[in-house]
Amino acid sequence: MMILLTGSTGFVGQALLARLAAQPALDLVVVSRRPNSSLPAGVAHAQVADIAADTAWQPVLQGVQVIIHAAARVHVMNDKVADPLAEFRKVNVDGTLNLARQAVGAGVKRFIFISSIKVNGESTAPGKPYSAESQPAPVDPYGISKLEAEQALRELAAETGMEVVIIRPPLVYGPDVKANFLSMMRWLSKGIPLPLGTIQNRRSLVALDNLVDLIATCVEHPAAANQTFMVSDGEDLSTRQLLRRMGGALGRQARLVPIPAWLLEAGASLLGKRALAQRLCGSLQVDISKTRELLNWSPPLGVDEALRRAAEHFLEHQAE
């Protein structure tokens, strides 16, 4: 089976590349804007322009049976462009649909689209997780663009018969993770007191290895066709639990100060950090029961082992 992978240089894409390249029954082609001389043995590379509405994909689609589309214009904090939604649409909607349409013409059987939990929204009431059937309610331009791409792909699938699989991950963490998760590990490793000792929220996360395993499962599983799947580690944590368990993985006790959540949120709003406070204090849960039942899939990696792997990589590279 020949698979085309986009986004192979990203956080998820690199791990997915390593996983798929290790399967001898698969022929793998990766695409990127620049030459890549460090690919695993046996992996083909194709250079393409930016993913856009006019990108020519025909030269790299011959013989491809499955596309895993992990490339995207990702969520940008403090985006400075004049029209963020228009910029997200160029890549995440127009570019995706252009690739999918050309995939239909080339006879591609299945298109796996890596979407985002932001399609559903930014928060859930405790004990009321998002499911694959929940009404989408994206808030920011990134989430809106991902929803529009999903809708366009489903319409294309209905018109043409190409199978579409949609996966909506929440926050993904693992070795070499960046952004807020990396900041958290730095704070914990330095023993910085954190005012999060009373937070009783619930958040779903997904370890990089667990997400990659689900994507690999969806490559051939017959029940995955034309389905939308939620994914997580199967264990939701409060911010306080996450900090304590991450601290344990780092060999440092988390120093948590018991500040009431309402006071944290008020202070964060005054400082213009309301979104950060929402992520730290609010809940965002996903229900993966459909994923478990339809695909007979369970997260292969437990939370503590996943945190240990992330911590181990951090400790080895924190001086870089």
3-state secondary structure at position 75: coil
Residue 276, C-beta contacts closer than 8 angstroms, at least 6 positions apart: 180, 268
From the candidates 142, 181, 297, 314, give the one annotated as an active-site residue: 142
Structure tokens, 64: 């491809």
- Label residue 211 left, alpha or beta by phi (over 0 means left) and psi (-120 to 50 means alpha): alpha
DSSP, residue by residue, 245-290: HHHHHHT----B----HHHHHHHHHHTT-HHHHHHHHS-B-B--HH
Q: Is residue 142 flagged as an active site residue?
A: yes
CB 264 within 8 A of CB 183: no
How far from 312 is each of 6, 128, 175, 253, CA to CA, in Å?
A: 28, 34, 8, 16
Contact of 265 with 281, CB cutoff 8 Å = yes
CA distances to 184, 311, 315 from 188, in Å: 6, 11, 12
Cα 132 to chain centroid distance, Å, stands at 15
DSSP state of 95: I
Evaluate the CA torsion angle 152, 155, 161, 167 in order and state its sign: positive
In whole angstroms, what is the distance from residue 114 CA to residue 215 CA? 9
Distance CA 81, CA 303 (A): 37
Terminal CA-to-CA distance of the chain, rounded, Å?
Answer: 39
Residues carrying an active site annotation:
142
